[in-house]
Amino acid sequence: MRTLVLTSPNMKGADVSAAQGALKHHGYYNDKIDALYGPITAAATKAAKWDLGYAEKNINSQFDDQLFLFLAGKSKPSLIMRQRAKSRNKNKYIGADALDIASRFIGVSEQPAGSNIVMFSNWYGMRGPWCAMFVTYCFTQAKSKSFVKGSKYAYCPYILADAKAMRNGLKIVKAADAQVGDVVLFDWKSDGVPDHVGIVNVPPGKKKTFTSVEGNTSGTNPSDGGMVALMERRVTDVAAFIRVLN
């Protein structure tokens, strides 16, 4: 197998299909097997390396023979890798897992632009603005029971309504108590109706700003920008910070 890396145009071939199949078998790759080594396959590669216990300096988007052997069960990670993997999964907030997943997709965009056609809307089964579908995808992949493919959630106000009522394992927390991996709803118009949603990356604490990973955003269009991005936001634009309990 060649060492597969992100290139433009994308690398393609039977070895890419084999890599996608191995990643899909373990739940890291959820798109179609198309023999193209694009950003989604690269993100899945990084996720697999994290869970297998690779050293952080080696967690990159390169898929090679060794990774294939690990995924195929033909080679076993070293003791230090297994210990590292165990440590990463111990007592971790489910929101932090969702953020890890979200971060792998930074740079992924809908194709063509303005179409809302992207792996997250395709996965959810609905064509439309997909910021909430992106958050739902990330939390379901993190094994949350609060988010459900095809039903919970594709609409920001429903997330807020359940959190206000403390339904479905969601509850509102103060900005000062927000933590990495919490859901954050935005209200750009200050009309009480949330317009957009993301996952907290660096919480505000006592500051007026914070960062979050969001789907369907951009620097010019915060709620319908068509890509996954890490954004800096103001606390004054927040409708609610939400803790995911299950």
Average pLDDT by consecutive 10-residue portion of the chain (246 residues)? 94 98 88 90 89 93 97 96 87 89 92 95 96 98 96 98 95 95 97 97 94 96 95 97 96
CA 48 to chain centre: 14
Smallest Cα–Cα separation from 106: which of 50, 155, 48, 61? 61
Distance CA 149, CA 136 (A): 7
Q: Is the pTM above the cut of 0.85?
A: no
* Alpha carbon distance 103, 98 (integer Å): 9
Residues 6 or more apart from 87 whose CB is under 8 A from it? Answer: none
d(C-alpha 208, C-alpha 56), whole Å? 31
CB 110 within 8 A of CB 117: yes
